[in-house]
Amino acid sequence: MKKATKRFLKLDYTTTLVVGTGLVLIFSVGVLLTARYKKKLHEENDLKRPLSVLNLPYCNGQKLDLFVPSNDDKPMPLVIYIHGGGWQSGSKVGGSLSLVKPLVEKNFAVASINYRLSGEAKFPAQIQDVFCAIRFLRQRAPEYDVNTSKIGLIGISAGGHLAALAANASDQPTFTQGAYQETSSRVQAAISMSGVLDLQDSSLGKYTNTNLDKLLVGTSYNRLTASPSNYLEAGDPSQLVIYGTKDKTVAPSQSVNYAALGSLKGASVASLAVQNGNHNLQPSFAFTTSPNRSQIIDAIAAFFQKQLDI
């Protein structure tokens, strides 16, 4: 009986050892496979991340940031963002870039540019920098798999002024002078958000008038010759003006009148009113705007998808 008990205990111990070893082995293999799977997943996700090229020097001591989605199908169309700030402040990393950068998720490359501010250089330095950025990116962007025949502009406030001016005035030699003359300054579409489009308009407030004086006084340009509306004509790139109905900085009439002028001139200018939107298209004394922020981004993407034919 004692021998049988010993054999049983020995057998039970052996079985437990075998089973235990097997479980440890299975667990170890499971951990190893999980680690390999996570590593592969991380590598795949890393490959899908947008390419970010920051502080890329382009013209006149200015820099830009470039964000390119990962897409092996075909070269990406490019949208260039121009910040606001009354021509005297702001930079490529702030402002309403949050409305534009989501385009990367919709298979657009996005560039955000700096330009010389009025405290550093008077007009037309700002529009010269915008045109120089277009030409620079048209020359260099193929390195990043960007389609240089499909370029759009988008800007807000002072940047909206520059985006519209660049869309309309690519045939003005003093605006387009500078480096990279071997490439075209012309874009295929533009969006102005809360833009200053007629610099002679009596609706302009004290803040904008003061900033315009800083921009223009002492130059050979006046408010007419620096206005996007002065150059708008049939054949200009298609444009969209987006404005907040509660904008206290730049009157909504700027965008409304510009769209009406486009119809009169035979130019393609559509408009989008953001109900309850302030100058930055954010809610003004309300919980939300209509369209809301997500819908504004979708409208921006839809416009560029149509105009850049993607």
For residue 258, pLDDT over 80 is answered with yes
Instruction: Write the pLDDT tens digit of every residue in 269-280.
Output: 999 999 999 999
Alpha helix (H) residue ranges in the chain: 2-48, 97-100, 125-140, 158-168, 173-176, 206-216, 253-265, 293-307
pLDDT category at 3 given cuts 50, 70, 90 is: low
Instruction: Write the pLDDT tens digit of every residue in 168-192.
Output: 999 999 999 999 999 999 999 999 9
Q: What pairs with residue 64 in β-bridges? A: 56, 113
Tell me the CATH class for 50-307: alpha beta
Tell me which DSSP letter residue 290 carries.
B
Q: Distances from the Cα of 288 to the Cαs of 20, 273, 276, in angstroms? A: 61, 14, 7
- Pairing label, strands 189-193, 146-156: parallel
For residue 11, pLDDT over 60 is answered with no
Instruction: Give Cβ neighbours of residue 302 (< 8 Å, ≥ 6 apart).
Output: none
pLDDT value of residue 213:
97
- Pairing label, strands 109-113, 63-68: antiparallel
Give the pTM.
0.85
Instruction: Write the pLDDT tens digit of every residue in 93-113.
Output: 988 999 999 999 999 999 999
What's the chain's average pLDDT?
A: 89
- Here the tokens at position 82 are 């121009």
Measured distance CA(198)–CA(210) in Å, rounded: 15
For residue 4, pLDDT over 70 is answered with no
pLDDT value of residue 74:
80
